[in-house]
């Protein structure tokens, strides 16, 4: 029988870490670009225009499919080369609204890995976005039983992580943030003095990507969620 593992506190992201999320936004964007059918802008240019509108509106509208739907509408109104008709707006809105109706798809090995980790460490689900939408995802996932707490925040910043550490009186050296987003899950957690695990997702949202800087060896990069079992 091996040594008893040192109990860690694991903060775990939801979207694109535990379940598929951004692929549904990607599908809506592709359908939107098809519908817009711009005569001179490339698909990449239309996407860049949408990204910029989303970046500007994050502070006001936040995250989630409802905010994204409004951003789609604004992009259409700015870029449409034809008269903007109500039926066109309705079509664009439906592209965004159907995201919330997509099935819940857990990523590979998530359920069994959480069951394993929960027996050895303290787990907290930490996700950001529109509270009601995120709570519904958590409920539909069937994973909440493995977590001692589940929290939905407006933004994951260095201040967010510092507040969690203070509120829960955590030992930074034994606290890890696990997720797919460099901008939200990894870099601010490292700046707050925590450890971090990056599990890249092929379809991570472009606005969540940024260079990851390892700090004092506190960053671990894995290919799959299931690999956590060998590390924790």
Q: 27-69, pLDDT tens digit by residue?
A: 999 999 999 999 999 999 999 999 999 888 887 887 888 899 9
User: Are 34 and 148 a contacting pair, CB within 8 Å?
Assistant: no
* pLDDT value for 1: 41
Q: Please give the CATH topology (third level) of the domain spanning 22-101.
A: DNA polymerase; domain 1 (1.10.150)
pLDDT of residue 204: 79
Containing 136, the helix (H) or strand (E) segment is helix 131-141
Q: Which of 173, 229, 206 is nearest to 50 (CA)?
A: 206
Q: How many CB atoms lie within 10 A of CB 134?
A: 21
pLDDT of residue 127: 95
Identify the architecture of domain 9-19+105-231 in CATH.
3-Layer(aba) Sandwich (3.40)
Per-domain boundaries in the chain = 9-19+105-231, 22-101
pLDDT digits (tens, 9 = 90+) for 122-181: 999 999 988 899 999 999 999 999 999 999 998 899 999 999 999 999 999 999 999 999
Q: Which of 16-20, 186-190, 205-209, 213-217 has the lowest mean pLDDT?
A: 205-209
Query: For 58-92, what is each residue's pLDDT tens digit?
Result: 878 878 888 999 999 999 999 999 999 999 999 99
Please provide the average confidence, as pLDDT, over all residues in the chain: 92
Torsion angles phi and psi, residue 102, rounded to 5: -70, 155
Quote the CA–CA distance of 158 and 110 in Å, as a whole number.
26
60: its two tokens: 């006001």
Q: Is the pLDDT of residue 203 over 80?
A: no
Paired with 11 in beta bridges are: 124, 177
* Distance in angstroms (rounded) separating the CA atoms of residues 14 and 184: 12
% of the chain with per-residue pLDDT over 90: 77
Tell which phi-psi region holds residue 64, choosing left (phi > 0), alpha (psi between -120 and 50) or beta.
Answer: left
Closest Cα to residue 106, out of 10, 224, 17?
17
């Amino acid at each position: 029988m091996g040594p008893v593992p040192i109990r860690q506190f694991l903060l775990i992201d939801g979207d694109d870490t535990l379940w598929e999320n951004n692929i549904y936004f990607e599908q809506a964007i592709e359908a939107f670009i098809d519908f817009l059918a711009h005569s001179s802008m490339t698909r990449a240019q239309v996407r860049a225009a949408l990204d910029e509108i989303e970046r500007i509106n994050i502070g006001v509208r936040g995250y989630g499919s409802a905010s994204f739907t409004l951003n789609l509408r604004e992009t259409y109104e700015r870029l449409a080369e034809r008269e903007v008709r109500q039926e066109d707006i309705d079509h664009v809105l439906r592209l965004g609204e159907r995201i919330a109706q997509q099935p819940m798809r857990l990523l590979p090995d998530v359920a069994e890995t959480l069951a394993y980790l929960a027996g050895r460490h303290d787990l907290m689900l930490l996700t950001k976005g529109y509270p009601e939408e995120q709570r519904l995802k958590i409920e539909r996932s069937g994973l909440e039983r493995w977590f001692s707490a589940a929290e939905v925040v407006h933004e994951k910043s260095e201040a967010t992580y510092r507040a969690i550490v203070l509120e829960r009186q955590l030992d930074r050296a034994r606290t890890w943030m696990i997720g797919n987003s460099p901008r939200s899950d990894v870099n601010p957690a490292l700046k707050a003095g925590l450890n971090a695990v990056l599990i890249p997702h092929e379809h991570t949202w472009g606005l969540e990507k940024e260079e990851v800087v390892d700090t004092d060896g506190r960053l671990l990069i894995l290919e799959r969620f299931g690999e956590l079992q060998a590390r924790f």
